[in-house]
Amino acid sequence: MKRLIVDVRPGEYAVARLPADAPVPAGLLDAPGLVSVTRTPDELSIVCPVEHAPPADTVQPGWRLLTVRGPLEFTLTGIMAALSGELAAAGVSLFALSTYDTDHLLVKSGDLARAVQALRASGHEVTKP
């Protein structure tokens, strides 16, 4: 795996689950930082800065965002597998998502230092704000 640059983004993020037929909360897509909205037949899943998290029965705050510096070519393979494997070996669970340009990993705030250490030990450069 080639050496990657992973940026630790400032702030705390939340992951929320709403009913599949719930509307996207008004103004959510105007929030700064990463906002991801995914609808499936079973749920509306939202990742956003914690201060913009919608009221929901299932909201998990306390996530930190790590972004692979991109853009990444679509022909690259194994990036998410390598990063998630390195974090799994260190006992760090994650929530992963991808965008057109790059890959993003969310780790619990309490696991951030261990995640950074694991990625650096694997040869990646990790920058923190």
- For residue 42, the domain's CATH number is 3.30.2130.10
pLDDT of residue 73: 81
pLDDT of residue 66: 98
Q: Are strands 103-108 and 95-98 parallel, antiparallel or unpaired?
A: antiparallel
Q: Give residue 102's domain range.
A: 5-127
44-67 burial, b at 16+ Cβ within 10 Å, e below that, comes to: bbbbbbbebbbebeeebeebbbbb
| Count of domains observed in the chain | 1
pLDDT per residue as tens, the chain (129 positions): 678 999 999 999 999 999 999 999 999 999 999 999 999 999 999 999 999 999 878 999 999 999 999 988 877 788 899 999 999 999 999 999 999 999 999 999 999 999 999 999 999 999 987
